[in-house]
Chain A
């Protein structure tokens, strides 16, 4: 399955986020070896240099590490993964607020709607 990309951000940035999500959600567990750049690029349907760039950036952030001959691995440092998970959650919250704002809701109104939604869920 080719990965889907939108037009608003560079492809490498979207690849980074996708791999981050795979790591924080446990699809790629700590210590797991990633596919080779070529195979991973083919799986995503993207240029191998773009995949390499995304992995290099992730390595800079500490979420993955590379071993010269055997490829890339997910970090075993749980703290780094937890931090990445929080960062993604923060990003998701920003996006939610942004799209609520586009609909004309203030952050407080958006929070109230979210609260209502939670209370309804508790009743069920």
Chain B
């Protein structure tokens, strides 16, 4: 049974149709790339899934429920912009996640942070951008959620930090959960994906296993994306 479903899902901002009658199923155990140019509807879909927006038409189901209180307990969300106060220390962040999420595995998070030599007394504002992104990802991936929604997890960090983030996603892989990663850094994420979704003008124009693209079209996902979304 799919863990994430969109049925005829639309979102309208005034006259603009940000999502246009989207149908989608994502099964547990899959790592899925949500790929599209800026303004294609990626973030709108993720915000709808987190109940930060409400659909204009159709619905989203996460583990059988529409987004709300029940789904927040099973969805682990990494927003594009941080929502954490920058005066907080690592220890305070761990406390905060522990208080909010019963599925948060503090030991696992603490172990990954120790491995990076990040002291628990360090405050967010004392960290580099790369370290901040790594810390947030560690917190999000340390929950035993059923659905991980990662909005641009590798945007704006150096290649070494990117590798670390992608490896952390692999290392915390859980066959009973799905991961949806929105990004436009396709060449970097392709190797960790099972499937890709191409989204353009609010519509899903492609939903395919990565192997199929390479086997049937003889090109990487990045090359296909550049071709299908070519700017003239």
| Interfacial residues of chain B within 207-232, with CB under 8 A of chain A in the complex | 210-211, 214-215, 218-220, 222-223
| Interfacial residues of chain B within 85-140, with CB under 8 A of chain A in the complex | none
User: Hey, what's the 0/1 contact readout for B150-181 against A, CB within 8 Å counting as 1?
Assistant: 00000000000001001100110100000000
Chain B, Cβ-Cβ closest to A37: B173
Q: How far is the CA of A6 from the CA of B220 in the complex (A)?
A: 9
Q: Are B166 and A45 in contact, CB atoms less than 8 angstroms apart?
A: yes
Of B170, B220, B223, most buried by chain A (CB within 10 Å of CB) is B170
Q: Are A48 and B223 in contact, CB atoms less than 8 angstroms apart?
A: no
Q: Using A2-B163, A7-B219, A38-B173 as known contacts, say yes or no to A45 and B192 having CB atoms under 8 A apart.
A: yes
Chain B residues, CB < 8 A from A5? 191
Chain B residues, CB < 8 A from A11? 190-191, 210-211, 214
- B23 sits at the interface (CB 8 A): no
Q: Are B171 and A47 in contact, CB atoms less than 8 angstroms apart?
A: no
Q: Are A45 and B215 in contact, CB atoms less than 8 angstroms apart?
A: no
B192 to chain A, nearest CB (A): 5
Chain A residues, CB < 8 A from B163? 2, 45
Q: Are A46 and B218 in contact, CB atoms less than 8 angstroms apart?
A: no
- B31 sits at the interface (CB 8 A): yes
Q: Are B215 and A10 in contact, CB atoms less than 8 angstroms apart?
A: yes
Chain A residues, CB < 8 A from B57? none
B138 to chain A, nearest CB (A): 15
Q: Are A45 and B211 in contact, CB atoms less than 8 angstroms apart?
A: no
| Interfacial residues of chain A within 90-112, with CB under 8 A of chain B in the complex | none
Q: Are A41 and B170 in contact, CB atoms less than 8 angstroms apart?
A: yes
User: Hey, what's the 0/1 contact readout for B175-211 against A, CB within 8 Å counting as 1?
Assistant: 0000000000000001111100000000000000011
User: Hey, what's the 0/1 contact readout for A1-34 against B, CB within 8 Å counting as 1?
Assistant: 0100101111110000000000000000000000
Chain B residues, CB < 8 A from A48? 170, 173
A7 to chain B, nearest CB (A): 4
- B55 sits at the interface (CB 8 A): no
Q: Are B191 and A47 in contact, CB atoms less than 8 angstroms apart?
A: yes
Give the interface size class of chain B.
20 to 34
- A49 sits at the interface (CB 8 A): yes
Q: Are B191 and A49 in contact, CB atoms less than 8 angstroms apart?
A: no
| Residue in contact with B171 in the complex, picked from A8, A42, A46, CB distance below 8 Å | A42
Chain A residues, CB < 8 A from B79? none
Chain A residues, CB < 8 A from B166? 45
Q: Using A47-B191, A47-B193, A48-B173 as known contacts, say yes or no to A10 and B167 having CB atoms under 8 A apart.
A: no
Q: How far is the CA of A5 from the CA of B31 in the complex (A)?
A: 19
Given contacts A7-B223, A10-B214, 6 further A-B contacts (CB under 8 A): A11-B214, A42-B171, A45-B167, A45-B191, A45-B192, A46-B192
The 9 closest A-B pairs by CB, nearest first: A7-B220, A10-B214, A10-B211, A47-B192, A48-B173, A46-B191, A42-B170, A42-B171, A10-B215
Offer 26 A-B interface pairs, CB within 8 angstroms, sorted by A: A2-B163, A7-B214, A7-B219, A7-B222, A10-B211, A10-B214, A11-B190, A12-B211, A38-B171, A38-B173, A41-B170, A41-B173, A42-B170, A42-B171, A45-B163, A45-B192, A46-B192, A47-B31, A47-B173, A47-B191, A47-B192, A49-B30, A50-B191, A50-B194, A50-B211, A53-B211
Chain A residues at the B interface, C-beta cutoff of 8 Å: 2, 5, 7-12, 38, 41-42, 45-50, 53
